[in-house]
Every structure is written in structure tokens, then in C-alpha cells.
Structure 1
């Protein structure tokens, strides 16, 4: 099968795009408004895009509170979503009224950050503290603006629970992070395998 995304002529009951670009890390983003309102929301269009410096990206379908708050204050955090937190993460995706804290709605506790003002999720084993680099509205091939916004942030602080640092590494599998797949599906990372990069010529 091959089809045109513009025409959506695949004949399937659901668009398979997100099931093909998978698994996707979940950016559990906390942002503060200029008034001090807290927003916590999960984004499955999220990833690291640079190591020197550390830069992460997330993209929002629609200009939601997280984007507006980050534009106001220039900071955000990203907490790792784990299997034990996936139910709470799902609750934070609910469309609550602006200014209503998803932390309270999901029964989560906040932990203070060291380098930025927005807090992180207290129960998460790892979190990134970020400062805003840019917010970009996306455009399509015809140059038309679409209702999608991409945020780039530089990581200025990294929190790790010491319990997950083993043999000098962060033990990813022990943290059981959860990734987004297609449809309503998720994946749990509970084991890893290693491949050494081949030497150059």
C-alpha cells in the first residue's frame, strides 16, 4: 500500500501515520504563566534534537496553555513519564479551564526546580529544566501557516533520582519510561540491548 497523506486515500478506519512514527517519547511539560498559573500537559511530539548544547523540542497541535505560558515566562520543565505515572499523565491531558492546575486534577505533587521557576513532577525519576530558545508556527509546502507550534528549549538543569544511577549511568530500563505509539497505544521500556557503533574507515 502507498497513499497520499493529503488525500487520506488509504481506506483504513484510522490514519496510520502515528503508528509508523513510533515509539515517541512523551514530553510531560510544566509551564508557568506570568501570573504564576501552573500548566502540566503531555506531548507525544517530543524529542532531543541536540547534545551540544542540550536542546529539546516539542510540538503542539493548537496553541495551548503550555505554549502561551512558555512565551510569557521563557521557561519550562519536562518530566519523564513512567509506567507507574501513566494514569496520572493521561489525566493531565484533559482539557481543563485555563489556570486550573493539572497537578491537583491528577493528584500529583510538584517538586521545585533549581535553575528555572516551573516545577517538575515529584514522582518522576528524571526531569529536564529548560529555557526557551524559540516558538515557531509551522507552515506547509504551500507556505500556509498551520495551527501547529514547535517549541525549542535549551536544557539548563537535569534532575535524576539517585536510585536510578547505576554503574555511572542512568538506568533507563529500571525507570520503566512509557512512550506513545499509534492510536490509543503506548509502549513500556523494561529492557535494553546494546549495539556498538562500527569503527570508521
Structure 2
């Protein structure tokens, strides 16, 4: 089987890519609007792209009507965002926060998600998240440049909050204790509950 992406609709292309590039980590992104409304939304087109400087990349698609999502608007305005990793224990709350709500409604309040203040940025973070990265926007890049369908947020990490409950006896992150969820195709997810190890040559 071959797929000629030039002949696929955007929806078909998305479905094939999202079903094959798996599992994808989920960025649970919190921001604050200029009027003070706290926003929270999940994104699965997400990855670490640099360790020097420590930088994460979140892809935020535009809405079908061409409007910008609250996460992007808020990050553009404030230059700040917090990125949480999603544990299996919080997967229902993460899914609930994906609902499309009016700009003036906070997902934290609407979904009854507890939050804590960040230390370096004026953004709330998800209470109980195994890992939270406080970030400042390094760059926001529309893509493709001529007719953007998404915006790439380059987020430089300035501080990380690690729940000590997910650390090993050696003080390192224990992937089984993290118990993170990943995105698959369609409505499917997975979790980091089965591992194996290999030594690099």
C-alpha cells in the first residue's frame, strides 16, 4: 500500500499520520489570558527538541473556521506557558479539558481541576501532575508560512516541578511510577506500564 499525500484531504492526512506516529506524548498546556482567565488544553503533537537550551515544541492547530485557539492566543500575549505530562490517574481530567469552551471560561474551573501557582511565570499549573515544566516562549512560528494551518510554539524550560512520588530510590524518574499516557490514532491511548531495556552498542 502506498499513500500519495498530495491526493489526501487534510483530514485523511491527519488520520494516517496520527495513527502511525505513535505513541505520542501529551502536552497538557496551561496559560493565562490578558484578562486573567486560566486556560488548560491537551496537545499530542508535542516533543522535546533541544537540551541546550532546554526546549519543548508544541504544535497548535488553527480551528476549522481559521480562528486561533486560546492556548496560542494566550502564549502570544504573555510569552508564558506551563506544560504538564499526563499520568493515567489524570487522564479523565485531561480529556475533559479538551472541550471547546468560550474564551472567558476556565477549564480549571469548568472541569474542577485543582491548580497551584507557578514560581517563575504567572500561569497556574495542574496540581498532582507528575511533571510540570514552567516555560517561556522562545519563538512562535506559523506553518506553513504562506498559509498557516498551525503554529509551532518553541517553549524554553525555566523550571521543572517533579513529584517525588515518581522518583526511584536513586532520585531518578521511574517510568513505571510516572505511568504516563500517550496518544494513538482515533480515540485510542496507551500507558507506560510495560517496559523493556536494551544497551546501546
Provide TM-score, normalisation by structure 2.
0.91
Structure 2: gaps of 5 or more residues: 63-67
Residue 84 of structure 2 corresponds to residue 70 of structure 1? no
More helix by share: 2
Match of 1:173 among 156, 162, 176: 176
Structure 1: gaps of 5 or more residues: none
Whether the 8 Å contact between 1:39 and 1:99 is mirrored in structure 2 is: no
Deviation at 1:174, TM superposition (A): 1.1
What is the rounded CA distance, in whole Å, between the counterparts of 2:199 and 2:76 in structure 1?
41
Whether the 8 Å contact between 1:28 and 1:80 is mirrored in structure 2 is: yes
Q: Alpha carbon RMSD of aligned pairs, Å? A: 1.6
Whether the 8 Å contact between 2:165 and 2:177 is mirrored in structure 1 is: no
Q: Indicate the larger mover: 105-114 or 20-29.
A: 105-114
Deviation at 1:67, TM superposition (A): 0.5
Alignment length (residue pairs): 192
Q: What are the Cα deviations for residues 175-194 of structure 1, in whole angstroms up to 9, with x where unaligned? A: 21001111111111113222
Q: What are the Cα deviations for residues 1-51 of structure 1, in whole angstroms up to 9, with x where unaligned? A: 001122129xx9x93221111111000000112221111000011110011
What is the rounded CA distance, in whole Å, between the counterparts of 1:16 and 1:147 in structure 2?
17
Q: Which runs of 4+ in 1 moved over 6 A?
A: none
Residue 88 of structure 2 corresponds to residue 83 of structure 1? yes
User: What is the match of residue 2 of structure 1?
Assistant: 2
